[in-house]
Chains A and B, each alone.
Chain A
């Protein structure tokens, strides 16, 4: 009887230990993600959220991070910085996430990263592009995507090698992204000896650019450079066509000019327009094309560089989590700092240069709308199609 009891007891305890032993490694690793899921930027928030989820599914299918699955906790910043701030606080204090990523609009990203730095939780910025974000010396903030000032890097070499404009006009929307980008492009123009005839901001969501464009026309610049979101971009081009403005080339500073909606809304007014871009599905990075095709198959719509940024960010986090000595924010931070890998968005290694710290340095590209498709045309070694320059005047088209 006593033997039976002790046998039962031992087997009970062993069963318990076995259960507990099995249960322990299954604790998921929480990743906090801040995105605009409602409000005017919700469309991009959606693309990024879907891309993050796609990446998580792939990583988890392969066993996650050292056996632990990644659990994504999304919070909506509604496009407002103070909501973004509360969202990050909530993720850190209530959900106790050890690492954060996301950050779409520059102003929300600025607010969110400040909180992360304050609470000493690492934040990998995915999209927010204002230069200031990595110029504060915050050791807990890393950025995957290039800063706004570097968007036109490829465009700059095209200008010096091929187009050689003498005068330029810069138009930009009055947002954090627009004001930041235009300032840095102004500096670039100075270094390549192009005379800036006019630099003017406009209120985002303006509908009437004709006064501005009429003035641009009278100045007759060689280059018109615009930093705009998609609808403003479309209107700028349509109204430029209406007014018959013919600079040697129109160049967009990324963002709106590379989205399919730009062409849908501007139609033939978008032809031959160049733009700086960070990524397209034809770039020579591992997994870029695969990501694009997989996203299109799963969600029945195209993705673009924002989605690629999100997708790659999660892989960077997974890599850092694997190398981290523990799951404490500090150790994850140190692991992130040592990142050196290739992703679908490009190579990732955080370096410090100029005023910037912990910024990933990536080359950028130039694309051109040719017959309703966006083709990568510069630099020559990655171009999928030849660039078309000089660009035919409005009256000579069709």
Chain B
């Protein structure tokens, strides 16, 4: 089956010749018309549309956006905040970058519609510190929008006011975790909060009800407000609606970003057709389908899944449609949509060592399992690569990883342990053989990963 065409809903104008990130260009292309219509509606209607749309978060968790909005405590009397998660730090992910740099007004319009729907008067865009130009672009865009009465006091002749400020991070992956992000905006060390009781929808920023949404998710809200939730829900596949931007990197001919209806393209179509297959002379070995925290898949694996009627179907890695549910059923996740491909030139122990170093570096250190476990796993794989590997190190790594997942304050526990669990599970042979592999003569252009 040939791959479907992209459906560039969010990325409609990315890389479009002549499209610039200023207000004039955006308005010329129909920008802010949807906001104009949205503010004439009842806010609850817009929330309803988002619920109907089935939109799932595009930051990594895939949590239904309408459900998240409906959990907001609207009875507390406290102001409701909206925080845009523009921290984009999940390795393998590079989509929000383009929205921010090339089409910032789409994000702003999505923010304003979402704020209007939820009676939010103050929104913050938390942008990672490594996007300094992006931060300036956003600030300029907000200023333009404010001047045109799309943002700020009494927008578009209504009594509705909402201000947006940009807040820059400074190099911490954990600020992508919604409560870590909130702590960071509050000016503290970004330690994620324990839930219960600190669910952002109830006790978020400044202990007020807060919505935290990913950049791409908020852009989808704009389109949902335009076409209606039901129409949106028909895009993609049931329970995995809309489009999503898939970011492919690593050992493919044509890495890059591609926007498809969720679930309408398989991993094989994506990598072999759209991305041109493996590099010359190489074969695919492993793929991480949803950002580096997602469990790795080994080419050649077979998955047996249950169908609704009780029958089963088997899938190869190439057969897997890129939707949240199927990927989860195959023991991994859709995550942030970051697809990292590794071919047969890669030693999987080295690859894991690279990732373990990332997670150890990024662990905030608040809770025991992630703090100590992530560094321990890094030390083990580093020792294996640079010192003495033992045949039992794979089993030790797996055991340590299993002591972390499910026992931490935040999902970083899973994020730092799933790579280790899955690399050892899927490529255990390489871990057992590593002591020999390590001592075998290497070619001078061997791939150094750690």
Say if A and B assemble together: no
